[in-house]
Amino acid sequence: MTMPDDDILAPRKPRSGTHSRADFSGRETRGPIIDQEGHEIRPETLEQGFREFRFEFGEGSGQGFGQGFSQGFGNGNPFGNLTREQRIARFEAIAKLLDIAFVLPGTNIRYGIDGLIGLIPVVGDVITTAISLWLVREARALGAPWYVTARMLGNVAVDGVVGIVPFAGDAFDVLFRANMRNVRLLRRWLDKQPRM
């Protein structure tokens, strides 16, 4: 059953004499803003955060890109003040995006943007290898020991070297999934760590 376009654009009024409990017209306050942990966020805090968030490239001061980038965010740096759990979740989300984000229609074959970007000769493989290396660096920042990061680097190296071969390397990327292997390595190591 399909809904007519008129019902999508102008929803029908309820048939009974009672009004709907939800009013989405924006005329009334919808309630407090809640963060991911379930704590209420005051509106003035949000306004302060938006004022602090700025992006500058350090023009006119002779700063390099990196300095302007890091100083331009001020206290609103979206990359720096993450909890350990948030960093692990980001690690896993990026790995899934790279390796298994999509399903080939009509099959169970999963692939990610690593396989798509890798179709661009040389440049695509350099970009995806750089992202994979950043994930290894992130694992090291999370406390992964040298033997875990060494295995991760091995996975990235195999993926990068074989990925250079046109088409066959891209098929290998889809099947090998170096980033998901690295997620499993990190997860195995994290599961052995004592809970705090």
The pLDDT, as a whole number, for residue 188 is: 94
The residue with greater pLDDT, 14 or 136, is 136
The pLDDT, as a whole number, for residue 104 is: 87
Handedness of CA 38, 43, 45, 50 (dihedral sign): positive
The pLDDT, as a whole number, for residue 165 is: 85
How many other CB atoms sit within 10 Å of the CB of residue 163? Answer: 27
Return d(Cα 97, Cα 118) in angstroms, integer: 14
The pLDDT, as a whole number, for residue 148 is: 95
Q: What is the mean pLDDT of residues 125-149?
A: 93
Nearest 5°: the CA angle 191, 88, 162 is 95
Q: What is the mean pLDDT of residues 102-116?
A: 89
pLDDT band with cut points at 50, 70 and 90 for residue 12:
low
The pLDDT, as a whole number, for residue 29 is: 53
The residue with greater pLDDT, 117 or 48, is 117
